Amino acid sequence: MQTYSVHTTPRFEAKQALSADFIAQAAQAFQQEGVIILENAFEVAQVQQWHTAFMELLQKKVAAFEQNAGGKVQGNHDVQRWNMHLPTQSILFDTLLLAHPVVVAVLKAIFQRDFAPVFIASDIAFPGSTNQEIHQDGGDFSIAVNIPLVDVSQANGATEVWAKTHLQQGVFSQASCELSPEAIQSMVQTYPNDFLTMKRGSLSMRDMRMLHRGTVNHTQEPRPLISLIYMPTEAKAPYWQVTNFFVRQAKKLRQQAWKTGRQSLIDHANTLGRMCDIGAMSDRDYRRQIDAATYAQLSTDAKYLLRFADLAPAIKPDFEVARSWRTTWAMAKDLGLYMFEFYRKKWSSAN
């Protein structure tokens, strides 16, 4: 049986006074270790309300997916694992979830540049989920904030992480770094691991370049995490007309993939969708447009973080975003090349 040296993830009390020293300590620990946990960031009663609303939405999504897939697959992300974007019209689209004051302060100290939540989604391990391969979530610098809606333990699938594997030559940098399979194998033999166990009300912040994996949920209940992915942003955004064209293509491919039940095709469709969100710097497109009532209840920080989102026409945004053909072309080129290569391989395999 494989054994690893055990690491203890740094934990901070989120209710502590929001001082400059506290923020600096949390940011430094994140940079050194690749992950930190903020405890008691939310009231348990609030988390329970979110959990109730979340499970109702999830049950509807799973039912629709299984109907479309004809029962051929279980999970839209991996074996008995699900991802679900949070709808904008929901109590889950909460300003405290999107822009917790402590989280925002620590993110600002780490990024030292503009950033935004590109994905406002979730990660759910169902009973029967298997261990994932040890991996990075891409080689580009980004930060995942995971908010558990239940207590998370090793029994129900706590995320396993390998500390310091985000560092390059032992030094923190925001430069891209994609590890080879050989490097990953070597590092998991050398670097210490830990399981991100948390009580409801806590959250974790993780450098997405660090090595990690989802683990088995041995219980009889799902383990849902809200997943907010914050990424560095450009000053100018692509034009919505082009963004939404590719979003519709990703949606069409996703619907086709569900009917086949082929996990590889589902993964391609999900990848295209994620690329759309990254290019647009927001997953709040025409399908998840922010309405006036929802916008009004957002904090100033949340409104700024969501400045790239598609807003209802009646809204006068607090933060105007310029759009340019340069960023539009860059996004369209990446998405167009991905789609071309995907359909080329699909056509080649069919012939």
Which CATH number does the domain housing residue 3 bear? Answer: 2.60.120.620
pLDDT of residue 350: 64
pLDDT of residue 50: 98
Q: Do 272 and 187 have their domain in common?
A: no
End residue of a domain, out of 175, 198, 233: 233
End residue of a domain, out of 180, 201, 233: 233
Residue pair 75/82 in contact (Cβ under 8 Å)? The answer is yes
Q: Do 32 and 99 have their domain in common?
A: yes
Spatial separation of the C-alpha atoms in residues 280 and 238, rounded to whole Å: 6
Ranges under pLDDT 50 in the chain: 1-6
Q: Do 221 and 252 have their domain in common?
A: no
Spatial separation of the C-alpha atoms in residues 244 and 286, rounded to whole Å: 7
Q: Do 273 and 340 have their domain in common?
A: yes
pLDDT of residue 3: 38
pLDDT of residue 16: 76
Q: Do 227 and 259 have their domain in common?
A: no
- Say how many domains are in the chain: 2
Q: Do 100 and 229 have their domain in common?
A: yes
Q: Do 225 and 118 have their domain in common?
A: yes
Residue pair 290/313 in contact (Cβ under 8 Å)? The answer is no
Say how many CA atoms lie within 13 Å of 88 toward its Cβ. Answer: 22
pLDDT of residue 225: 97
**Torsion over CA: 60, 246, 264, 223 (sign):** negative
Q: Do 222 and 319 have their domain in common?
A: no
Spatial separation of the C-alpha atoms in residues 238 and 336, rounded to whole Å: 14
Range of the domain at 88: 1-233
Q: Give pLDDT tens digits for 232-255.
A: 999 999 999 999 999 999 988 888
End residue of a domain, out of 211, 233, 255: 233
Q: Do 16 and 85 have their domain in common?
A: yes
> Global pTM?
0.93
- Which residue, among 207, 225, 200, has the nearest Cα to 215 in the 3D structure? 225
Q: Do 174 and 285 have their domain in common?
A: no
Q: Do 142 and 185 have their domain in common?
A: yes
Q: Give pLDDT tens digits for 169-227.
A: 899 999 999 999 999 999 999 999 999 999 999 999 999 999 999 999 999 999 999 99
pLDDT of residue 5: 42
SS (H, E, C) the chain: CCCCCECCCCEEECCCCCCHHHHHHHHHHHHHHCEEEEECCCCHHHHHHHHHHHHHHHHHHHHHHHHHHCCCCCCCCECCEEECCCCCCCCCCCHHHHCCHHHHHHHHHHHCCCEEEEEEEEEEECCCCCCCCCECCCCCCCEEEEEECCCECCCCCCCEEECCCCCECCECCCCCCCCCHHHHHHHHHHCCEEECCECCCCEEEEECCCCEECCCCCCCCCEEEEEEEEEECCCCECCHHHHHHHHHHHHHHHHHHHHHCCHHHHHHHHHHHHHHHHHHCCCCCHHHCECHHHHHCCCHHHHHHCCCCCECCCCCCCCCCCECHHHHHHHHHHHHHHHHHHHHHHHHHHC
Q: Do 338 and 300 have their domain in common?
A: yes
